[in-house]
Amino acid sequence: MILAGKCPASLACEGGVKGHNIKKIIHHREAPPVRARGFTKIGMITIGQSPRIDIIPEMREVLGTEVEILEAGALDGLTLEEVKKFYPKGGDYILCTRMSDGREVVVAKRFIVPRVQKCIDLLSQRGAEIIVFICTGLFPTFSSKKLFVEAQKILDHSILALHGEKERIGLLIPLSDQIKQARKKYDRLKGKVIIKAASPYASEDEVSVAAEALKRADPHVIVMHCMGYTQAMKKKVMEITGRPTILARSLVARTVKELISD
């Protein structure tokens, strides 16, 4: 391949290149490199039950249809009565998710951690090339032979990038019972963090009420800190508050899209 202003070592540059030599160079120009095979299988893990028909379709709009998405859930195969045994007790880290039929469930992290690890192993066996953990809760380190992408780290590092001594960040989380553990996590930030609760698995009215409360607090930016929040909910929050808003699922999807795009 000939670059502008460059001359191959095999040709004399002083007198230029004659027409017949140009044709010869063009004829023997190097073929473009063969493009490496892209990632075609992405694993998605939920702390609830799969398939997440409330999340994956909106993420697929970003990822594209050429990618195969393999799903696994920490609560797969369990009945509601069995899941109720995972309900948090005093001191437990609280997680909010949903069953396959859409019913909201609240579980303690300590019951979910080993089940997530099994999901990682399962998706690796099924051929997932990248595994995405679609939960924004705080978890210990997992073991994975594949690239393991955690929604929580993507979202929280975005918050760190936005915060400052004068910035006010509005945080929307699912449950009021989670506010205490959220404050413990974000109190170290220099700016002010305003936390309001609204379950993504309840009515949109709940999200609207929380958005009104955030509007009164006048944040600079709002972070919808749960993968369960939808694009429609984000639109509602922005309409009410008039503030820039980050939606967890679209941020994670766009990050994964960047990883798999050439």
pLDDT at 152: 97
- Span of 37-41, 132-136, 163-167, 236-240 with lowest mean pLDDT: 37-41
Q: How confident is the model at residue 19 (pLDDT cuts 50, 70, 90)?
A: very low
β-strand pairing of 104-108 with 94-98: antiparallel
DSSP 145-187: SSEEEEHHHHHHHHHHHH--SS-EEEEEES-GGGHHHHHHHHT
Reported as a single tens digit per residue, the pLDDT across 191-246 is: 899 999 999 999 879 999 999 999 999 999 999 999 999 999 999 999 999 999 99
> Is a pLDDT exceeding 50 seen at residue 33?
no
Q: How confident is the model at residue 94 (pLDDT cuts 50, 70, 90)?
A: very high
Mean pLDDT across the chain: 88
CATH architecture of the region 41-260: 3-Layer(aba) Sandwich (3.40)
Q: Look at the block and give the residue holding tokens 């990883």.
A: 259
Reported as a single tens digit per residue, the pLDDT across 56-74 is: 999 999 999 999 999 999 9
Reported as a single tens digit per residue, the pLDDT across 99-154 is: 999 999 999 999 999 999 999 999 999 999 999 999 999 999 999 999 999 999 99
> Is a pLDDT exceeding 80 seen at residue 185?
yes
pLDDT at 112: 98
pLDDT at 37: 53
Q: How confident is the model at residue 190 (pLDDT cuts 50, 70, 90)?
A: confident
pLDDT at 118: 98
Q: What percent of the chain has pLDDT over 70?
A: 86
